[in-house]
Chains A and B, each alone.
Chain A
Amino acid sequence: MAEDKNRNGTFSRRSLIGGAAALGSVGLSRVATGAEANPDNLPPNVSEWTPYLGAGVDANPYGMPSPYEEHVIRRNVEWLTASTESSVNFTPLHELEGFVTPNGLCFERHHGGVPEVIPTDYRLMINGLVDRELIFTLEELKRFPQTNRFYFLECAANGGMEWRGAQLNGCQFTFGMVHNVQYTGVLLKDLAREVGVKPDAKWILAEGGDSAGMNRSIPIEKIMDDCMIAWAMNGEALRPEQGYPARLVVPGWEGNMWVKWIRRLEFGDMPYMAREETSKYTDLMEDGNARMFTWVMDAKSVVTSPSPEKAILEKGVHQLKGLAWSGRGKITRVDVSLDGGRNWQTAELHGPVLDKCLTRFTLPFEWNGEELLVQSRAMDETGYVQPTIDALQAERGVNSIYHNNAIATWMVNKDGSVDNVRLG
């Protein structure tokens, strides 16, 4: 890999991505286990990076991951959508630890590309059924009392390709439309006090300044509860693809409502029935009628390792790892099955366990080359139990696209490779 170094000592992105594609995920994992290690770098020899000076503090003013981690990227599924500007990519959940998603790995979903919003020209307008229609600059928003909260954001279509059967062979592609960051922003109830909401206001229309003009209706009870206008994620300004310079945060509710590049909030006395809450993000049932305004993201979990991208490479002890979350509150328990749901063990939850936030779980297990059918089942503080796909299909059929929070099954084959399978 040394040949790929540029003159300034950094690695060529192209060569590394090409290498990752050629190796495939299993190959990279083998590298990570040390199976292909260069003995010259191993004890008792002096490793090649030891005798020489490394890069100085001016080499990377904004730090990037090690070039050996360049396979840890968002990926898209080209055939899913007509254009990359109205499309989605997926968080590599199988490569992450803890519950915080790094900003550069948060999945993207936008409907008209990522606008380049100039922060000095950014404005948030609040109009409609208010005492005073006001316009705020970004700096004015930052002068309101601030709130810092961790929340997961999940697209309602996460797992939407899996309703009829196991389709995409990856943890990233089947569960990766979720991320979890700490938001810094102002509560909408503080902005509401500033404009003075009229008593007959029951709904708000949130509208983006992007080319899609993304717009969604949100009931005022939710607005006055925990919604925020956020300008920072994980301690730094929002990334452009996450709504820079400001986005709506709608904790526990489907990601489409978290309007990015937000430019306007309108208070009104009825829902606006925008395209995204009528023709999209409505859940078509078997009888041809559709559920409307299904906002909450129900409890869900996924085993991130082992998973289709995380084969088991050696016999012996392993740590099963996964993530669980619920739009109704805190995760209280996650059970794991290695035999397709016949027998379950309760996994360890790694705190802090927060409201409407990803929660990490682990369970040690020993693998001796046998086939496994790995599942996880989340429960939340309301008593909700993550359902099987059979239970979901019995209730909703297979046309609904959205809100598939079913238990998935990863089959560990005898060679340690892992497949997304459907049981029946």
Chain B
Amino acid sequence: MSGLVKAWLAGGAMLALVASPALASERPFNLGKIATPEEVAGWDIDVRPDGLGAPVGMGNAIDGEEIYADRCAACHGDFGEAVDNWPVLVGGEGTLDSHDPVKTTGSYWPYASTMYDYIYRAMPFGEAQSLTYDETYQIVAFLLYMNDIIEDDFEVSHENIGTIEMPNRDGFFMPDPRPDAQPVASEPCMTNCDVPTNIIGRARDIDVTPEQES
């Protein structure tokens, strides 16, 4: 083998080494930049059910009443009863097994952490991430108090947001039991099937469809 060929082979081998992800870098594509702790802290705003991610702060319902009236009540009502079509936030206990279930933070939401997470990231509607950490804890405390879950002087904080017990904590189940509602026979019926064909309702009669036909 000539020296020239050896040099060429060696060069090729070196190129292969550089291109090999396992040897050159653990990053197969070497794209993107390392995020700084400050960058992550600014965007990593989620709060988990165990309290992970909850920022340092606290608030009680007494202070929360004022900020709630100022920032929330225009849509959700002074007592969480809601204005127009906006979500009801308070009440609804004992309605989930009725045909008029009222799903509120008190009657339905399984975790207090979700209240913090959602209010901070998305509320007030159209003014996302404008509340301070303490204001957010105050509003959470006010809603928990209105739903008879805590006392009005209880301080909700990063230390206990993951431990507050919500009334409907055990109202959810998984895993997904579907597929369900399947026919008994493996092959679906094709002829003379025994099914009801009486008309028991017409959308036309309910008359809530926009731009009705002429």
Contact = CB atoms under 8 A, between A and B. Distances in A.
Given A86-B125, A264-B44, A288-B96, A278 B114 contact: yes
Contacts of B26: 131, 196
Interface string B25-65: 01111011111000110011110111010000000000000
A143 B31 CA distance: 8
B15 interface: no
Contacts of A167: 203, 206, 208
Interface in A370-424: 373, 377, 379, 382-385, 387-388, 390-392, 394-396, 398-399, 403, 411, 417, 419-424
Contacts of A135: 32-35, 39
Contact of B182 (A127, A215, A266, A385): A385
A78 B196 CA distance: 33
Given A166-B206, A194-B28, A213-B122, A205 B46 contact: yes
Interface string B122-135: 10011011000000
Interface residues of A, number: 113
Contacts of B79: none
Contacts of B177: 291
Contacts of A112: 122, 125-126, 128
B188 A335 contact: yes
Interface stretch (A36-44, A244-252, A269-277, A351-359): A269-277
A387 B181 contact: yes
Contacts of B109: 278-279
Interface stretch (B138-146, B153-161, B166-174): B166-174
Contacts of A86: 125
A111 B198 CA distance: 39
Nearest to B110: A278
A146 B114 CA distance: 35
B178 interface: yes
B123 to A, nearest CB: 10
A279 B171 CA distance: 11
B188 A273 contact: no
A256 interface: no
Interface stretch (A177-185, A312-320, A340-348): A340-348
A290 interface: yes
B31 A140 contact: yes
B98 to A, nearest CB: 8
B175 interface: yes
B192 interface: yes
B95 to A, nearest CB: 8
Interface string B192-214: 11011111111110101111111
A325 to B, nearest CB: 15
Nearest to A411: B199
